[in-house]
Amino acid sequence: MLVTLVHLITGAADLAAAFLFMYGLKRMSSPVSAPSGIRVAGIGMLVAVLANFLQVFTVDAAAKPHLWVNIILAVVALSLGASVAWFKGRTVAMTEMPQMVAIYNGLGGGAAGAIAGVELLGNKTHGLTQLIVTLLGGLIGAISLSGSVIAWAKLDEILKKPMRFKGQRYLNALVFLAAIAVAGYIAFSVDNGGVTLLPIQSVIWIFFGLTLLIGILMTLPIGGADMPVVISIYNAATGLAVGFDGYIIQDPALMIAGMVVGAAGTLLTLLMAKAMNRSVSNVLFSDFGDVSKQKKSKMTGSEKPVEASDAGIFMRYAASVIIIPGYGLAVAQAQEKLYEFVKLLLAAGVKVRFAIHPVAGRMPGQMDVLLAEAGVPYDLIFQLEDVNDDFATTDVALVIGANDVVNPAARTDKSSPIYGMPILNADKAKRVYVVKRGQGKGYSGIENQLFYEDNCDMVYGDAQAVLVKMIESVRGLGAAAA
């Protein structure tokens, strides 16, 4: 009777958790409702976790001696994980957010791979179908773990350059085929009573070693400018691995959560790849950002530096301004100063909007989060397709820390690695001001043609210091008038 009641409660809890996951994801589709969507999905996860503890009442008598040890270990693990995540979530700087997302996503993949490993090493799979699903979960989870760790290292600039060598793609393919062959060997051996030349556990460890190596080899050659897409790919992979694990351990909530994350991550990946006018395979297997292969285009003209105060005054008397935020804004933690400057322009009757490129920053949606953190109203924020045609009639385009997403070479220079990528048409504005820390190239290392255009002026300096000067110059006009 008790076992039946537990199954009814956990079934209802799984159904409730699944609804909360999907409803939360739906609310995350809008910046306005995203915070509540995150809370709703979090409640769904809490419901699913707590419901699983009820399984203790269905444990066989033979397993009860180890029951309380396992419960204590689970509670300790959950407490440590929740404490670390809460602390890091509250204290992480916006510039470190991409790294945190990458490493946490990798840990999710690692957890999925670990579940598959426990099932395989403990010989807990039943039937060939479950065995194949377990191997797939282990394969995808391990790739997501090691690949996400390399992505984290690239974002944190521990690995500063793509690592490429001759015959790399052939090596990657060879390791992948070896992992598939070992997986096939495990499936054949286990399905035939575990008959194998090596101890089956050793073969399983070889399988996981190869899968971890695949993630490393796949991610090492990818350029830094592709990291937002890579994070999204591994996010989708982690979701898929979790969904497989849900099938393995017969947990409906885990299956639904994994499939929802996998589907959402896949759609996001396709949208971001489309925003770069590239396929996902091109992101994973091309040498994008390998500037050593780029034909050097001779830039005509020169970069023209101007004072921040002069740029600020010019924008004060403009009719319309479109602001393009980039990673440099996050590095300087200048989003609040930027909004302070925007409020001065709005008060003076200037029409101000923000233009967001889908791959601006180093993770999906980073610029939207950055502006939301500063309190910028959502009705001032526009995506590329909604604002791009307006640059031609705009007085000023203010670019802060963005590089590749405003590079006209994407439209005109067939030798450029970013040729064909949709960009924000900042160069078509009547006047362009680019706030930049120095004369170096952007994250991908590609020369920006915009900086040499006749209508473009460079405002060199840390974005926060530059914006403080702009604010002072505009306020000074008001004080002088009074």
- Structure-token pair, residue 118: 């426990």
Residue 257 contacts residue 206 (beta carbons within 8 Å): no
Helix/strand/coil percent split, the chain, to 5:
65, 5, 25
Residue 449 contacts residue 413 (beta carbons within 8 Å): yes
Catalytic residue among 226, 404, 413, 462: 404
Residue bearing tokens 């640059």: 391
**Short-list 259, 267, 258, 199, CA closest to 229:** 267
Rounded distance between C-alpha atoms, residue 43 and residue 21, angstroms: 9
Angle CA 63–67–69, to nearest 5: 130
Per residue in 133-167, is it b (16+ CB within 10 Å) or e — as a string? Answer: bbbbbbbbbbbbbbbbbbbbbbbbeebeebeeeee
Instruction: For residue 93, give the amino acid letter.
Output: A
Residue 168 contacts residue 241 (beta carbons within 8 Å): no
Rounded distance between C-alpha atoms, residue 91 and residue 7, angstroms: 40
Per residue in 300-329, is it b (16+ CB within 10 Å) or e — as a string? Answer: eeebeeebbbebbbbbbebebbbbbbbbbb
Please give the helix or strand (H or E) that residue 405 lies within, else none: none
Residue 283 contacts residue 226 (beta carbons within 8 Å): yes
Please report how many Cα atoms fall inside a 13 Å half-sphere around the Cα of residue 325, on the Cβ side. 33
CA 482 centroid distance within chain: 48
Q: Is 251 a catalytic residue?
A: no
CA-based torsion, 218, 223, 228, 229: positive or negative: negative
Angle CA 478–479–480, to nearest 5: 90
- Structure-token pair, residue 370: 């950055």
Question: 435: which strand partners?
Answer: 400, 459
Rg (CA), the chain: 26
Q: Region of 434 please: left (phi>0), alpha (psi -120 to 50) or beta.
A: beta
Rounded distance between C-alpha atoms, residue 140 and residue 138, angstroms: 6
- Catalytic residues, by residue number, are 404
